[in-house]
Amino acid sequence: MAVNRYRLLGLLAAISALVLVLWLSLAMGSKDVDFAALWPAITAYDGSPEHVIIHDLRLPRTVTGVVVGIALGLSGALIQALTRNPLADPGILGVNAGAGFFVVLGVALFGVTSIQEYIWFAFAGAVVATVAVYFIGSRGRGGATPLRLTLAGVALGAVLGGISSGITLLRPAVFDSMRSWSAGTLSNRTWEIFTTVAPFILVGTVIALAMARPLNAMAMGDDTARSLGANIVRTRAWTIVSVTLLCGAATAAAGPIGFVGLMVPHVARWIVGPDQRWILAYTLVLSPVLLLVSDILGRLILRPGEMQVGIITAFVGAPVLIWLIRRRKVSSL
């Protein structure tokens, strides 16, 4: 089909963009490095300052950025398909609030300070919150309908967010730590962090891609989905597992980064239409592009200092969004 051929070409273009951005991410920063020097730095590491920057700082950072980007984008696409609410972002199941809450507890009660320790608290919080939301949302007639899940997520997120705010406003030291964490950043991401979260993101991604077909069926309503052979309860459950793994791991690794999960799936849908398989494929490639471009800009704008990626992402993505909605061809949510 001609349409599929265009989609495939678009995907290849996106992948090329991703590769380019990957190299840029390795090359640019507080000190720019020649493209020529990049490959030897990875393959023939010789301990020189340049190689150190690339191999020990930028490579793990870039790779973490890629997986975090993928995780955020995919979880956003899944959540929008699951709740059938175009205003949903992955945080709507309370993931961010749960992660933040546990990190606050960690800092306040256990004096946790290093990112390595943050990770486990954040991840645990994300999982606990999502399970609680699913549990609350699935009681009552009809089970975990999109509306109930959404309301439960908003409610629980509010509670946890409120308590977190309360604690931080009572303890200045905690406030200070949290305001750094809540900006969302990719700086100082080490290999250890990457290897900690990557397995979860990998599993989450595999589940997400497997959910593409069932979610296509569910998009047309529960009854149609059942008649097409989709198992609704199982699809919902697996989707939520995937969102938890992906969004939880991403938030644990880099702090709460919004906007990517909300908007990239929309843009993907505008480009390729409502087929979840294509949406997920495009989201998989475009989200890390957005995140890495933002990260690169963050490194360049305040040289030799940095601006956190969580702050820049909106400024990169929002203008693109506004430009898109003003073009005539864009259809509804």
Partner 1 sequence: MRTDLATPVQRAPVINFGRRTVAIRRFGGRVSLRVDVRTLVVTAVLLAAALALAVVALGLGEFSVAVPDVVSALLGQSSGAVNMVVVEWRLPRVLLALLLGAAMGVSGAIFQSLTRNALGSPDVIGFNTGAYTGALVVILLMGGGYFAVSAGALVGGLVTAALVYLFAYKKGIQGFRLIIAGIAVSAMLASVNTFMILKASLEQAMSAAVWGAGSLNKITWEQVLPVVVVFAVLLAVLSLYGRRLGLLEMGDDAARALGVRLEGSRLVLAVVGVALTAMVTAAAGPIAFVSLAAPQLARRLTRSASVGMVPSAAMGAFLLVASDIVAQNLFAPIQLPVGVVTVSIGGCYLVWLLAREVKRQ
Residue ranges that bind partner 1, judged by CB under 8 A:
85-87, 136-137, 139-141, 147-148, 150-152, 154-163, 165-166, 168-170, 172, 175-176, 179-180, 182-183, 258-259, 262-263, 266, 307-308, 310-315, 317-319, 321-322, 325-326, 332-333
Least distance in Å: CB of 114 to partner 1? 19
Q: Is the peptide bond before 304 cis (omega within 30 degrees of 0)?
A: yes
The Cβ of residue 28 has, within 10 Å, a number of other Cβ atoms equal to 17
Least distance in Å: CB of 82 to partner 1? 15
With respect to partner 1, which residue has the nearer C-beta, 38 or 97?
97
Sign, CA dihedral 267-271-273-276, equals negative
With respect to partner 1, which residue has the nearer C-beta, 138 or 205?
138
With respect to partner 1, which residue has the nearer C-beta, 90 or 157?
157
Please list, in sequence order, all residues whose beta carbon lies within 8 angstroms of the beta carbon of residue 169, skipping any fewer than 6 positions away.
175
Residues 156-178, buried b or exposed e (16+ Cβ, 10 A)? bbeebbeebeebbeeeeebeebb
CA distance 239 to 136: 17
Q: Which amino acid is at 61?
A: R
Which CA distances in Å does 151 have to 20, 145, 157? 41, 10, 10
Least distance in Å: CB of 280 to partner 1? 21
CA distance 47 to 55: 9
Least distance in Å: CB of 301 to partner 1? 11
With respect to partner 1, which residue has the nearer C-beta, 175 or 238?
175
Q: Which amino acid is at 74?
A: L
Least distance in Å: CB of 236 to partner 1? 16
With respect to partner 1, which residue has the nearer C-beta, 73 or 157?
157
